[in-house]
């Protein structure tokens, strides 16, 4: 892989890292918001604000597809970073929960398309035979961003307060923008679709890529949406079409429920803020490692069994945190829960993409991720209701552990993975290695 191609993957990774910081910062500052009685925030309202961010992400993800097709992947990433940088700075000066919730909703809109766009752009510049690894590596940036914000919170929250956490997030985006502007290329696939073949070949030659003879925009993909839905609901794919979204719903309920409420629930169990944030760091470190390593394990052992076992392990680990345990054991369980549960969800999306033929893959992934994001909305809301209720704090962990177990059971309804040649017989497209070849 040319060095310049690795550069693009790194840049996409950094975009996702800053995105992860700006999304996860709320879960890090939430204990301070509640303990210090900032804005008279109740657990229910706090959970609703977290869910607003996820709702914005859903709407932003739907809008991002059209915006990417019209303006390009590079343009969308640059615009998203600009917007969520400004919004993060504004969150630092929000006067109350209403304005703060509105800003977090707009933040979700801005970042909704960042992850899929960054992954898609990185994969264009990554070696074809290592797409799973590089796709997982870019997604791991989200977990590393969450680790960064949790570590920063340990040192900054007690001294400078929650507002400084948002200032730092804004500064990260501000510092990154000039590098993206100068170094991030546009997608050759997008340029071909817009009829800019000469520019597409220039980018391809610079980065050592090949360009398809047929521009993407010349294919009637949008006209085939109904056909795609019919294929997804045919006897061959029906079980996968039902199981992937349901498993994703429970997986995201677990992930975003824990990311939002883990420090608060641990505080209810008597842990100091610093200790709770260190455990949040452990959760996100496990998430990053799982995103990178489980994709390789799934390639070796098969994705379906790997995902089911990992979700089961995550469910047991999360539910076990409800019991009084020595601190070292607590760290091990939380790290394992992040590794197995969050990593399994990353592998699940890759498995979903490889379970359908290329003609319907985009529609199938949109359906799967859309339903998963609804689980992401439900997780923080459910966590807020549990924290604000009279039940013991440990029941929150039991509930989230049960969600992981449900995700593991449901994924077993998906048929076993078929051979790649059976799934993707149409993906041996001709390529054009030279700028002088006619399009």
Q: How far separated are the first and last CA of the chain, in Å rounded? A: 25
359 half-sphere exposure, CB direction, 13 A CA radius: 14
What tokens does 53 get?
């961010």
Tokens in use for 215? Answer: 């521009």
Whether the Cβ atoms of residue 158 and residue 29 lie closer than 8 Å to each other: no
User: Which residue numbers in the chain have pLDDT < 50?
Assistant: 1-2, 214-223, 419-439
CB 236 within 8 A of CB 422: no
- Sign of the Cα torsion 251, 256, 262, 268 reads negative
Among 150, 391, 398, smallest CA distance to 275 is for 150
DSSP H or E run through 244: helix 238-268
Residue 323 DSSP code: S
Give the pLDDT confidence score for residue 297 in this predicted structure.
Answer: 85
Three-state secondary structure readout of 381-422: HHHHHHHHCCCCCHHHHHHHHHHHHHHHHHHCCCCCCCCHHH
Predicted confidence (pLDDT) per residue in 132-144, tens digit = 677 777 877 888 8
The predicted structure's pLDDT at residue 325: 84
For residue 279, the model assigns a pLDDT of 85
Antiparallel, parallel or unpaired: β 211-212 and 431-432: antiparallel
Q: How much is the pLDDT for 128?
A: 63
Query: Strands, DSSP E only, in 141-245?
Result: 211-212
CA 301 from centroid of its chain's CA atoms: 24
Question: How far apart are the C-alpha atoms of 53 and 286, rounded to whole Å?
Answer: 23
Q: In the numeric block, which tokens belong to residue 189?
A: 């696939």
Question: Residues 398-410: pLDDT tens digits?
Answer: 999 999 999 999 9
Q: What would the pLDDT profile of 204-229 be if each residue is shown by its tens digit?
A: 766 666 665 544 444 444 445 677 77
CA dist., res. 10 & res. 402, Å (int): 36
CA distance 206 to 438: 19
- pLDDT score recorded for residue 428: 39
Burial, 191: exposed, middle or buried (Cβ in 10 Å; 0-12, 13-18, 19+)? buried
């Amino acid at each position: 892989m040319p060095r310049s191609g690795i550069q693009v993957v790194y840049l996409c990774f950094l975009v996702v890292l800053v995105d992860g910081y700006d999304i996860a910062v709320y879960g890090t500052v939430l204990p301070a918001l509640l303990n210090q009685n900032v804005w008279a925030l109740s657990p229910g309202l706090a959970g609703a604000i977290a869910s607003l961010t996820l709702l914005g992400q859903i709407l932003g993800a739907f809008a991002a597809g059209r915006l990417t097709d019209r303006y390009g992947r590079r343009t969308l990433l640059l615009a998203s970073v600009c917007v969520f940088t400004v919004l993060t700075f504004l969150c630092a000066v929000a006067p109350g929960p209403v304005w703060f919730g509105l800003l977090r909703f707009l933040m979700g809109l801005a970042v909704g398309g960042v992850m899929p766009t960054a992954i898609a752009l990185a994969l264009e510049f990554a070696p074809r035979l290592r797409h799973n690894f590089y796709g997982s590596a870019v997604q791991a940036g989200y977990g590393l961003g969450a680790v960064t914000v949790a570590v920063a919170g340990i040192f900054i929250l007690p001294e400078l307060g929650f507002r400084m956490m948002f200032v730092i997030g804004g500064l990260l985006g501000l510092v990154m923008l000039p590098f993206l502007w100068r170094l991030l290329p546009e997608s050759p696939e997008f340029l071909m679709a817009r009829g800019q073949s000469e520019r597409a070949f220039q980018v391809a030659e610079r980065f050592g890529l090949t360009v398809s003879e047929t521009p993407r925009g010349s294919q009637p993909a949008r006209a085939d949406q109904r056909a795609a839905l019919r294929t997804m609901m045919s006897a061959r794919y029906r079980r996968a079409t039902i199981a992937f979204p349901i498993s994703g719903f429970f997986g995201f309920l677990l992930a975003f429920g824990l990311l939002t409420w883990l420090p608060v629930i641990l505080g209810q169990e008597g842990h100091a803020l610093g200790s709770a944030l260190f455990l949040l760091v452990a959760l996100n470190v496990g998430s990053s490692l799982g995103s990178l390593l489980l994709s390789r394990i799934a390639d070796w052992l098969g994705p379906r069994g790997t995902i089911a076992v990992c979700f089961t392990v995550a469910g047991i680990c999360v539910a076990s945190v409800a019991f009084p345990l020595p601190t070292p054991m607590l760290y091990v369980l939380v790290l394992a829960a992040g590794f197995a549960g969050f990593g399994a969800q990353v592998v699940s999306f890759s498995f979903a993409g490889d379970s359908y033929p290329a003609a319907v893959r985009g529609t199938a992934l949109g359906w799967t991720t859309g339903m998963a994001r609804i689980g992401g909305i439900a997780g923080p809301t459910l966590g807020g209701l549990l924290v604000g209720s009279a039940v013991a704090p440990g029941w929150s962990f039991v509930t989230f552990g049960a969600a992981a177990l449900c995700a593991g059971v449901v994924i077993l309804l998906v048929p076993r993975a078929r051979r790649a040649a059976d799934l993707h017989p149409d993906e041996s497209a001709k390529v054009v290695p030279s700028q002088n070849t006619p399009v």
